[in-house]
Chain A
Amino acid sequence: GNSVTQMEGPVTLSEEAFLTINCTYTATGYPSLFWYVQYPGEGLQLLLKATKADDKGSNKGFEATYRKETTSFHLEKGSVQVSDSAVYFCALRPTSGTYKYIFGTGTRLKVLA
């Protein structure tokens, strides 16, 4: 079946540090892949997406590349800010069937000034 595995949190970094949040998936075919961010007390916001192999999604300094060979979609940012503190969810949308998203369990990021 389809599944998404994210690294356990929380991740605590100092401001301007490099961020990587690992995400791997299991799916048949070529799912679309997404990263969502949830700030405290809010719903989820789409951060970036990639719909085919080798696509790179990017937004607000965050990047993730769809790696079919390693079934991964790791989230990276070169220099984090305190305002990036949030929970990050990796998700996939299957290529057929229900189209409902499969979410990872979320990774909490805390950035210290």
Chain B
Amino acid sequence: EAGVTQSPTHLIKTRGQQATLRCSPISGHTSVYWYQQALGLGLQFLLWYDEGEERNRGNFPPRFSGRQFPNYSSELNVNALELEDSALYLCASSLPGQGYGYTFGSGTRLTVV
């Protein structure tokens, strides 16, 4: 069974540009979660998608947005990049409902210069 796949592995952007990160969940998983892991910090919740809808959003500005496609894959967009957006962005998928563990992808390392 394929795991959660994220692309690209690494991304280097210039301040002010836009970044698009992609995530393919495990087959059968309908929920996708995005987290930001900045250097030296823990995991900060960004977004949760389920069945194509945004279900919850973390404390991030509107320039962080995303969507979930009919095949449950997901995209995270970050507009007007700032230096402090440099981080590891992790995607996780799960079956719906409480008690099911997340399966994480390996992440996309975004560097803003």
Contacts and interface: CB of A to CB of B under 8 A. Distances in A.
Interface of A: 31-32, 34, 36, 42-46, 49, 51, 89, 93-96, 98-101, 103-106
A44 B90 contact: yes
A99 B99 CA distance: 9
B98 A93 contact: yes
A100 B43 contact: no
Contacts of A106: 42-43
11 contacts: A31-B98, A32-B98, A34-B102, A43-B90, A45-B104, A93-B99, A94-B98, A98-B48, A99-B48, A100-B56, A101-B102
Interface string B82-113: 00000010101000111101111111000000
Interface of B: 6, 31, 33, 35, 41-43, 45, 48, 55-56, 88, 90, 92, 96-99, 101-107
Given A95-B98, A96-B98, A43 B45 contact: no
Contacts of B35: 103
Contacts of B6: 43
Given A32-B98, A46-B102, A95-B98, 15 more contacts: A31-B98, A32-B99, A32-B101, A34-B102, A43-B6, A43-B90, A43-B106, A44-B104, A93-B99, A98-B48, A100-B48, A100-B56, A101-B45, A101-B102, A105-B42
